Every structure is written in C-alpha cells, then in structure tokens.
Amino acid sequence: MMTTATLIPKKPFLKRRLAPGLTIATVFVIAIMGFSLALHLYNIDSIGDANAYYTAAVKSMLKSWSNFFFAAAEPGGSVTVDKPPLGLWIEAIFAYFLGVSGVSVSLPNILAGVFGIPVLYYLVRKYTSELAGLIAALVMAITPVFVATNRNNTMDGMLVFTLLLAAWAFLHATETGRARWLMLGVFIVGLGFNIKMMQAFLPLPAFYALYFLGSREGWVRKALNLVIATVLLLAVSLSWAVVVDLTPADQRPYIGSSDDNTVMGLIFGHNGISRLESNRGNGPQNGGTPPAAPGTGPGLDGNDPRNGPPQQALDA
C-alpha cells in the first residue's frame, strides 16, 4: 500500500525564524549594524574637535538658553552659525550629558547612520527581497564616504536618516492612500529642513511624484492632499525661521553668513542660490569662516567673533 506525503515547501533561508520575530535576515541586519558601528568608532579620537566651527557653536549653546535657541556661534551670542538649529540642538543635548568633544557632538550622526541601515533594508526588501535589502544595507554600511561623513558633526548623517524615514512615510501614503502618512512624510521633511535647510527638499519632487502617480486615490483628492501637505511642510520648515526673523535684531544674534541679517536671506542666499553657483564661497564647510556682520569690527582681544569664533568658543 502506497502512501503519499504532502510536501510542505521550506521557507527561503533568510526568512527562516530563529525565534518569534527573529529571522535569519534580521540577524544579518543586526550584524551589519554592529559592523558599521565598529567602522564608525574605529580610532574615533583621531577626529579631534570634528568640525570645530559647529563644535564651538555647541559649546556656546550650552552657555544660555538664548544661545541654545538661536544656535549662537560664540559664547557672547553675537552671531549664529550658518545652519538651522535642530541638528545642533541634538548635538548640544549629547554634549550636555557627555561633555563637549568631537566624539560627543559626532555621536548623533554616527547613531543616525547606523540606525539608517535597517530603514534602508526595510525599504529595499519590501519591494524586492531580503537578499537585495541586505546587499543595499551592507553597501551603505561600508561605503567610505558614508562612514567618513558620519564621523563628523556637520549633521549630514541626521539629514540622511530623516529623509529615509520620510521615504518610508511617503511609500506608506502611496500604498494606503491615507493622508496621515503623507502628512507625516512632509512633517519629517520639514524637520530635515531645520537640520540643513534646502538640502532636505532635494528628494521632495520624487516623493510628490510617487504619491501623485502611484496612489489609487482620485486625482482631485490627491492634488488637494498635496496642497494641504505643502502648507504643513512650509509651516514646519519655516517655524524657527519666522520666529527668529520676527525677533527684533537688537534682541538676537546676527544671522551668520547672511547678507541681510535674516534667516530667510540665509535660506535663499548662502544656503540656497549660492550653492548652485560655481563659486561656493568661503563658509565654514569649505574651510573658511562665516562673513562678518555689517558694522562690526575686532573685539578687545583683536579677534572678531563674527569672523572666526571656533577656537575662542572652544577655549571659553
């Protein structure tokens, strides 16, 4: 007498469960994160003060709430740095608990880079396979410029992590057609704007096109949702800028690297149009210092805090 057995197909290797909620692929993701963290922390003391311009700003921000809010570049609070404050606020919180050093102010970017790995894995795996997701995660983890950029306090790591989360939200909005995911996506991009301004908007056309062309909602509803989302995006993005620009100039620091002492001028000037020009200026990210505020000169010690505050603030 012959019996037949029902063959139960085995799960692919990477999908096999080792424990509830733990697959082999998940173990590999954790391993890649650990390896990436090791790469980021290797010989970490060699970074010194990291980007001294922003490290000095962090130290200055811990001197007073006013310096903290405005992201003052030097302890006297006479001038701001050339970036919005969100990334620096996070770095200042780390520095408050760990002490001001190149390592402490770079740690938020390092962690953002490491925790961006599972986000990228999820985004790729969802539309391809576990193997493709792991390859994408590994490639990002070992890319030299990825590691080198995160071992610094210029906030690029935090911005990339923010935009990965925004991509996740926009994909959910496209799949589900639910406006709340769209609003979450633009809210996250708005936070990114308060980290590095216009750079956060670079993937926005792709995000909008994905939702508008990919969602199953009606065209009118999608257009209306995008209009509402844009209003929210601008409200979040410009929240700090509006508050600062509405503050009387004599009650706040000069807006560093701006031509007109306004954050709006900084957004569209130094951090906007000038980025598209061949001459990218002499800002701190290019090895120079921010321009002096109009009508100011050297201090009693012969140094103009608006024209090169890093070492002064670090030594304060």
Per-residue model confidence (pLDDT) at position 15: 83
Q: Is 193 helix (H, G, I), strand (E, B) or coil?
A: helix
The answer to whether residue 118 sits within a structural domain is yes
Q: Per-residue pLDDT averaged across 204-229, rounded?
A: 97
User: Shortest CA distance to 193 belongs to which of 225, 154, 152, 163?
Assistant: 163
Residue 233 forms part of a structural domain: yes
- Model confidence at 71: pLDDT above 90: yes
Residue 68 belongs to some domain of the structure: yes
Asked whether 196 and 87 are in contact (CB, 8 A), the reply is yes
279: pLDDT strictly greater than 60: no
**Given this model, what pLDDT does residue 297 score?**
38
* Domain housing 155: 19-273
CA separation for the pair 194, 136 (Å, rounded): 28
Would you say the C-alpha torsion 58, 60, 63, 65 has a positive or negative sign?
negative
Number of domains the chain is built from: 1
pLDDT confidence bin for 272, thresholds 50/70/90: confident
Query: If we measure between CA atoms, which residue out of 153, 269, 173 comes closest to residue 228?
Result: 173
Is 10 a member of any domain? Answer: no
Within-domain flag for 223: yes
**Contact between 157 and 119 (Cβ < 8 Å):** no
Greater model confidence, 222 or 7: 222
Q: Which two tokens stand for residue 33?
A: 């994160």
**Position 13 in a domain:** no
With residues binned 3-state (H G I as helix, E B as strand, rest as coil), the percentages for the chain, rounded to 5, are 65, 5, 30
Over residues 25-61, the pLDDT tens digits come to: 999 999 999 999 999 999 999 999 999 999 999 999 9
Q: Is residue 288 part of a domain?
A: no
Whether 166 is covered by a domain: the verdict is yes
7 confidence band (pLDDT: 50, 70, 90): low
Higher pLDDT, 13 or 31: 31
pLDDT, mean over the chain: 88
Average pLDDT over residues 71-88: 96
**Rounded to two decimals, what is the model's pTM?**
0.85
Under DSSP, the state recorded for 254 is B
pLDDT of residue 8: 58
Yes or no: say if 169 and 184 are a contact pair by the CB < 8 Å rule. Answer: yes
Whether the pLDDT of residue 230 is over 50: the answer is yes
pLDDT digits (tens, 9 = 90+) for 124-179: 999 999 999 999 999 999 999 999 999 999 999 999 999 999 999 999 999 999 99
What is the pLDDT confidence band of residue 9, given thresholds at 50, 70 and 90? low
